[in-house]
A = this chain, B = another copy of it.
């Protein structure tokens, strides 16, 4: 009987293994499919490569912002070769890591539970005192559409496999992955149309920033808000999409239809119902959000397999911390949660740190909003990227920074700064004592902090 069996060798599983091996050699990793991560193969990394090239293209085409005249041509097979090259480099790094592990610790195949201590893999039984389940998720697919469109319906699992970029593309969805991909494709010369169920795009919950984001991103990207396809069908090599707009039936013909409407957990593959018949419906499993424990069992479910917000660094964090709960079972502790930090690599980038506007409202927390617009911000003007805004949410009583939402160039950096400040539980008065170099985008944060302080001083 193993001390721990880890199911799934993605980000969370690998992180769990690396932590577990420090404590016990009596462990087993079971993995179905490739021994690398969603992140490196079909997630964060290839998407960032595509976005990086797309943004460079955009910077070239809009160099008049900084007084240059330019021309660029895209060889889209070269772009996709570049995506493949770097993706392979990143997956190789992960695989090399896994290859260094004791071969006795690794089995390829699908694990299904027989009882709470036993799984079946390729016809063999394996037993453990505890399990870490890190099976991840896959993009949701409309099965009818898939049957109709076959290889012309793609998701983030397939898009990075393309040899060249299509001439035209429709994307269903307006969340993080949908908008990141849509904007990149459009910037790379792919005629891209987005069908969005609602008006919300990306990750921001602030109504004001949402409107700003919708306006900014719509300027360069064709988004059909509150419209979904009525019907899709193949038309020779193309996809024909019928939809209703302004009470009229319309048609759009594109090379591919890309679905980015969320992700589905792989938990359904595990036959958890053999442990408890109530586990049949994997969408409503009794998983403790703080401990990640399944019911009162020595089973912990981490990473994308059970989350609404798949974020790589949180998956790694959960995988690592679940090991202690496995080894100390039945003594189970809350996993120490990280200060929330979510980044979307759109242009401008979006980010949410600490508590979002929506979360604060839902909890009826009394806060004021410090706002800065970047249209007239010095450093942003110099860079030719003076767009967007930041909202800081400040507790009225404690004057502490509770959260922030960002829609701005380099939000990836400003979001780290703000989330680290939030984790130190600093008051805005303390943050205003920090050095702000001139000229930087960070000075915009100071503007927002001062805006918040003026409001607090008026109230106080």
Binding site for B on A (CB under 8 A): 39, 44-45, 48-49, 52-53, 56-57, 59-60, 63, 66-75, 78-79, 81-82, 86, 89-90, 311-314, 316, 336, 338-343, 378-379, 381-384, 410, 412-417, 419-421, 423-424, 426, 433-442
Contact = CB atoms under 8 A, between A and B. Distances in A.
Given A49-B66, A69-B72, A69-B74, 18 more contacts: A44-B438, A56-B59, A57-B63, A68-B79, A69-B73, A69-B75, A70-B70, A314-B435, A316-B438, A338-B433, A339-B434, A410-B413, A413-B416, A415-B437, A416-B442, A420-B421, A420-B435, A423-B434
Contacts of A434: 338-339, 416, 419-420, 423
7 contacts: A57-B63, A67-B75, A67-B81, A69-B72, A70-B72, A89-B381, A343-B440
B423 A420 contact: no
How many identical subunits does the complex contain?
2
Most buried by B among A56, A86, A342: A56
Contacts of A410: 410, 413
Given A45-B382, A413-B417, A435 B67 contact: no
Most buried by B among A78, A413, A419: A413
Contacts of A417: 413, 416-417, 420
Contact of A71 (B71, B75, B79, B420): B71
Contacts of A53: 66-68
Contacts of A338: 433-435
A378 B340 CA distance: 22
Most buried by B among A39, A63, A66, A338: A66
Contacts of A39: 438
A39 B443 CA distance: 15
A158 B86 CA distance: 45
A165 to B, nearest CB: 11
Contact of A382 (B48, B60, B314, B441): B48
Most buried by B among A68, A74, A86: A68
A381 B71 contact: no
Contacts of A70: 60, 70-73
Nearest to A436: B313
A340 B434 CA distance: 10
Given A439-B48, A442-B413, A82 B66 contact: yes
A90 to B, nearest CB: 7
Contact of A49 (B45, B382, B442): B382
